[in-house]
Amino acid sequence: MEPFIALDQLQKAFGARVAVDRVSMSIPAGEIFGFLGANGAGKTTTIRMLCGLAKPSGGCATIGGRDVWKERSRVRSQFGYVAQKFSLYPDLTVSENLSFFGRACGVPPGVFAKRSESLLKKMDLQDRRRSMTGSLSGGLKQLLALACAMIHQPPLLFLDEPTSGLDPVHRQRIWNLLYDLSHEGATIFVTTHYMDEAERCTEVGFLHEGRLLAKESPAHLKQSFKGKLLEMEVEPVMKALVNLRGWPGVLDASLRSGRVRLYAAAPEKLEAGWRQNWPWPELKWVGSRWADPDMEDVFKAYSEGYEEILNRSLS
């Protein structure tokens, strides 16, 4: 069976700067694919090429077997797109925005009435149908943007950081909707900066400086850690964080729930040495434990190039 989305050496350059560097991957139908990377990694540029909004500088990509650039007029009916920045019309009401996008996507009037009512109910916007869109909260604006992207019932949704800046309640509501859509067979392509959201995807791809570093399920990516993560409770914690970051053999350290989490190729050796000779008399070592890596650890390791603690055979 052919993948629903396929990228083959896809590339985009802006003059001498390469924003997307020969990315190849495939995504089957019905998957929730998380596209991760730091700001400027090339995520939005990749989505813009897949949506036919930017011409590739090299390679190609297909959606449903059709070339995303050469057949972009036909491909566009196959997806809905929620942009990174709010892109609806603030001076129209909620219902008017839905109506505009319904007409733009060619939804028949008889079908539109029933479908828009269902979406308003699903997004909890029934009581706001006559409200001006610009007056809505950030969460409700994103729910409306999602409704407009879904009005023509596309088999694919592109969501560029759809929950950025939203409160936990609206974030969860949007993800519940994505689960429902995936269960109904839709394919979801989502970029996010939230690592807890990456855990919710069926598969995740890491983009760094335009290059695809890894593409696996969250479980397999966490298994790509070949070392251990040492988590230390030290007081005062902020001074400990600075000192531990500068210690030989420590790649980096981060603060997690009041503890310092160390990234190191040989954490057992470091811990054993510190137990014999603790070098900071001004710091109190209260305790330590071994922590399982989460998606934030994986993201940090891949984006910072910590080859010492990664098993790249999975990438």
Percent of the chain with pLDDT over 90: 72
The CATH number given to 225-314 is 3.30.70
pLDDT band at residue 312 using 50, 70 and 90 as cut-offs: low
- pLDDT, residue 68, reads 96
Instruction: State how far the Cα of 124 lies from the Cα of 149, in Å rounded to an integer.
Output: 16
Cα(16)–Cα(273) distance, integer angstroms: 48
Domain positions in the chain: 5-216, 225-314
> 5-216 belongs to which CATH class?
alpha beta
- The neighbouring-strand residues paired with 153 are none
Burial class (CB in 10 A: 0-12, 13-18, 19+), 253: buried
Task: Specify burial of residue 82 (Cβ count, 10 A radius: 0-12, 13-18, 19+).
Answer: buried
Length of the chain: 315
Over the range 16-48, which residues count as b (16 or more CB within 10 Å of their CB) and which as e? eebbbbebebebebbbbbbbbbeeebbbbbbbb
C-alpha–C-alpha distance, residues 175 and 162, integer Å: 10
Q: What's the number of CA atoms in the CB half-sphere (13 Å) around residue 70?
A: 8
In this predicted structure, the answer to whether residue 275 has a pLDDT above a threshold of 70 is: yes
Average confidence score pLDDT of the chain: 91
Nearest to 220 by CA among 250, 197, 198, 193: 198
pLDDT at 282 over 90: yes
The pTM is what? 0.87
The residue to which tokens 């942009």 are assigned: 83
Q: Is the pLDDT of residue 313 over 70?
A: no
Contact (Cβ atoms closer than 8 angstroms) between residue 23 and residue 215: no
- State pLDDT tens for residues 203-244: 999 999 999 998 999 999 988 887 789 999 999 999 999 999
